[in-house]
Amino acid sequence: MNAPIICLVFLILTLTNAFSFASNKTLYASVPAFPPFNGFIENKLCTGINKLAIQAVTKDLPVRLDFSSYPYARILHSLQAGELDLALILKNNQLNNDIIYIGPLSFIEIVLITPSHINLQRYEDLHQLKKIAVIRNAQFDLKFDHDSQLNKVSVDSYEQAIKLFEAQRVDGVIGSKIGLEYALHRQNMKKEFIDNAFPVGKHELGIHLAKKSPFVALVPLLTNAVKRLYQENFLYQLYQYQINHCLPQQVLSQLPTLNKMPS
């Protein structure tokens, strides 16, 4: 038997064993423990966008999903300890030794909002901000993440960050456009904060699969699924779709017009 055939047989046997093993197991997954990633406050039956994305990636795999909504720091710890199989979060290099990264599945716009009287024109202008709220242990931008001259205030959710912002306890909040847009809406604050936000950049969103997970044999299938689904704005499309289909009409009427997710 020649080498290519041997490799093919080995791959088939590996995947067959993976199907057999995984069909009897539950894959434990986690998403950030705040909306709209784990759900929508207005409608408890409306699935969070990170959950939807994981379901899309794994829908053809022989696995049962069990979701947990963990604070960001706990997601990282649980992946390192092997207590979680998989998480869908912004690419985090702290986990390089403990996970297999599969991505990108999407890119996320990272923005920084400030009060209307503060006009940021370039990155160096961030140093005029007294305090910037940042999700604990999240990585948004290489330059920002390692900038020790900035006074960063750790928070556990975008809602907490926006409440601090509204109370003028911080004068900047950095994060995903999706998360900040939704948190501002929940606090009945102006959409102009997003429209006038300083664009920090775009950050990769991908699957983080724990190396200690029994599902590592499914990496080829997960990789193919992620490649098939990849779109630069995939997560924002899911957000738009849920906004249009899940929120009560009285809530929907208060939001800016959003396009439906393309079929």
The pLDDT tens digits of the residues spanning 186-207 come to 888 888 899 999 999 999 999 9
Quote the CA–CA distance of 203 and 165 in Å, as a whole number: 23
Quote the CA–CA distance of 81 and 79 in Å, as a whole number: 5
Q: Can you give the pLDDT at residue 246?
A: 82
With a pLDDT cut of 90, the percent of the chain lying above it is 71
Query: Looking at the predicted structure, is the pLDDT value of residue 94 above 60?
Result: yes
Query: Looking at the predicted structure, is the pLDDT value of residue 256 above 70?
Result: no
Quote the CA–CA distance of 36 and 4 in Å, as a whole number: 46
Q: Can you give the pLDDT at residue 29?
A: 97
Q: Can you give the pLDDT at residue 84?
A: 96
Question: What one-letter code names the amino acid at 190?
Answer: K
Measuring CA to CA, which residue among 135, 243, 228 is closest to residue 181?
243
Quote the CA–CA distance of 216 and 222 in Å, as a whole number: 9
Q: What 8-state DSSP symbol labels residue 94?
A: G
Question: What one-letter code names the amino acid at 46?
Answer: C
Query: Looking at the predicted structure, is the pLDDT value of residue 119 above 70?
Result: yes
Q: Tell me the C-alpha to C-alpha distance, in Å, between residue 125 and each of 64, 108, 201, 243.
A: 48, 22, 15, 34
Quote the CA–CA distance of 201 and 123 in Å, as a whole number: 11
Q: Can you give the pLDDT at residue 247?
A: 72
Cα angle vertex 144, ends 154, 171, to 5°? 55
Query: Looking at the predicted structure, is the pLDDT value of residue 9 above 90?
Result: no
Question: What one-letter code names the amino acid at 98?
Answer: D
Quote the CA–CA distance of 17 and 220 in Å, as a whole number: 13
Q: What is the mean pLDDT of the chain?
A: 86
Across 121-143, average pLDDT: 95
Cα angle vertex 132, ends 131, 137, to 5°? 130
- Where is pLDDT greater, at 246 or 178? 178
Across 205-219, average pLDDT: 96
